[in-house]
Amino acid sequence: MKTRALHGATLAWTCEDGAPDLVADLGLAAGIGEEDGRGRIEIVLRRGSDAESADPALAGYRPSFFHGIVQAYHEPEGAPPGFLLWDRRSRFLVPAGATRIEGFLSAEELVPGSARASLEIALSLVLRSVGLFHLHAAALVRPTHGDTVLVVGGAGAGKTTTTITLASAGYVFLGDDALLLEETAAGPNLCAFPRPFHVGPAALSAFPRLAPLVGPPKRQGDKRDLDPSQAFPGQFLARGPAPRLVLHPRIEADRPTALAPLSKAEALGNLIASSGGLVIDEVPGKTEHLALLTRVTNGARHFDLRLGRDMLADPSILPALVEAMLAQSTAKQ
Amino acid sequence: MTEPRLPRPNPQVLFTELDDGTAVLLHLDTKFYFTLNPTAVIVWKSLAEPLAGPGAIAERITTLFRVDQETAARDVDSVLREMLADGLVLPA
């Protein structure tokens, strides 16, 4: 059984019957962060049978939520509680109250990467039990002052464009799409969850040096994978403090790039919308999760970031705006 | 004349107040969230108190904000109707 650290937890996994190492595919083969007492999370991956392709609903499993092609179910009536994740070929079982995942993997996928995505969702459910809460967001840290900038928004909002622009200006990054939130005695922390950046054609046109580093276009959409360790060597950070500034980007190409203050209610609403696990029925830690998001909201200034085409022509616009806001925050302290 | 009774908060709704006076309601059944401005925050918090009715909430709002009684009463009525429509509160 392989073991690696994952922000305080010990991830222990095994691949049986020639099952692929999806944990390594998640980017966790080298581990990330320290082992500091969150306990052990076990993952067993093995080959499944043709029966895994059958809709679990036929066996009485109750639909819970879905993410892309991955459908989640609750246990059938009377069975021990837990989640079942199904990508129409492979299944993952996550028993309630246990820090264990069991995967039954098919040799084929209807959508490439769907089994890995299922495992990531299963892992995010288990991580809640050990105090790590998934957040769909990007985060960077200004190296000169150590200020964290969180970037919150749905798919296509401009998180990656913002991340690449600030990383190109020297900021270190935790990720462009997925983070974990933890509470500590000193306040909330952001923890990195390794993933390739997903870069669209507009960002590539603004940063042509990245073009040779990206992978082929995805089957769906026009985004390409970019290994951030190649694109920005030495700029990765595994863990950062709570943000002082939260950007809520949206693309409005024909208007100039600008920041506008956002109320904390709107900001918390966006954070909730980027925290899918918070609204899933029967998941642990909802109160702690919402309290954590509230502390992050109260501890930062929030701005609507309107991203215009002008920023792609002159990427220095965005770091200048962010620097000005961080300087204002410093002056007010 | 007796005031209409106030609706009661839906127990499936989580209320989170923020330090700029705004707040968020998260409906755990519908999964929708709702943002509240400072006036709506007063309305929501008043529902948990033994106030006589919407008029008493409007009275409170006139003392906290620069708004006349008629406007406050209209706002309270509007907020309560929206909260009822969204299932955030339940009929008295």
Residue-wise pLDDT tens digits, B37-67: 999 999 999 998 877 789 999 999 999 999 9
Per-residue model confidence (pLDDT) at position A182: 96
- pLDDT band at A323, cuts 50/70/90? very high
Per-residue model confidence (pLDDT) at position B57: 94
Per-residue model confidence (pLDDT) at position A51: 80
- Tell me which chain B residues have a C-beta less than 8 angstroms from the C-beta of A279: 26, 28, 31
Q: Test A297 with B28 for CB contact under 8 angstroms.
A: no
Q: Test B18 with A264 for CB contact under 8 angstroms.
A: yes
Q: Test B16 with A269 for CB contact under 8 angstroms.
A: no
* CA A177, chain centre distance (Å): 5
Residue-wise pLDDT tens digits, A31-73: 999 877 899 999 999 999 888 889 999 999 999 999 989 999 9
Average pLDDT of the residues of chain B: 93
Of A159, A326, A166, which Cα lies nearest the Cα of A248?
A159
Q: How near does any CA of chain A get to the CA of B13, in Å?
A: 11
Q: Test B18 with A269 for CB contact under 8 angstroms.
A: no
Q: Test B26 with A266 for CB contact under 8 angstroms.
A: no
Least CB–CB distance from A263: residue in B14, B22, B33 = B22
- Quote the CA–CA distance of B63 and B72 in Å, as a whole number: 10
Residue A220 pLDDT greater than 80, yes or no: no
Per-residue model confidence (pLDDT) at position A331: 66
> CB pairs below 8 Å between A and B: how many?
43
- pLDDT band at A333, cuts 50/70/90? low
Least CB–CB distance from B33: residue in A272, A286, A294 = A272
Least CB–CB distance from B18: residue in A272, A281, A298 = A298
- pLDDT band at A152, cuts 50/70/90? very high
- pLDDT band at A21, cuts 50/70/90? very high
Per-residue model confidence (pLDDT) at position A328: 84
Q: Test A298 with B19 for CB contact under 8 angstroms.
A: yes
Residue-wise pLDDT tens digits, A302-322: 999 999 999 999 999 999 999
Per-residue model confidence (pLDDT) at position A322: 96
What is the DSSP code (8-state) at residue A236? B
* Minimum Cα–Cα distance from A293: chain B residue: B16
Per-residue model confidence (pLDDT) at position A195: 87
Per-residue model confidence (pLDDT) at position B2: 66
Find residues 6-25 of chain B whose CB sits inside 8 Å of chain A.
Answer: 14, 16, 18-20, 22-24
Per-residue model confidence (pLDDT) at position B49: 84
Residue A174 pLDDT greater than 90, yes or no: yes
Burial B8-41 (b: 16+ CB within 10 A, else e): ebbeebbbbbbeeebbbbbbeeeebbbbbebbbb
* Domains of chain A (ranges, CATH numbers): 2-130 (no CATH), 134-332 (3.40.50)
* Minimum Cα–Cα distance from B33: chain A residue: A269
Per-residue model confidence (pLDDT) at position A109: 86
Of A314, A303, A306, A271, which Cα lies nearest the Cα of A290?
A271
Look at A119-123, A135-139, A217-221, B7-11 and tell me which has the smallest mean pLDDT: A217-221
Q: Test A290 with B26 for CB contact under 8 angstroms.
A: yes
In this predicted complex, what is the ipTM? 0.90
- Tell me which chain B residues have a C-beta less than 8 angstroms from the C-beta of A272: 24, 26, 33
Evaluate whether A50 touches A70 at the Cβ level (below 8 Å).
no
For a pLDDT cut of 90, what percent of chain A falls above it?
A: 85
Residue-wise pLDDT tens digits, B13-44: 999 999 999 999 999 999 999 999 999 999 99
Alpha-carbon separation of residue A163 from A89, A94, A137, A152, A197 (angstroms): 34, 33, 10, 11, 9
Per-residue model confidence (pLDDT) at position A110: 85
- pLDDT band at A194, cuts 50/70/90? confident
Joined together, the tokens standing for residue A225 give 């994978």
Q: Test B22 with A264 for CB contact under 8 angstroms.
A: yes
Q: Test A265 with B14 for CB contact under 8 angstroms.
A: no
Per-residue model confidence (pLDDT) at position A206: 92
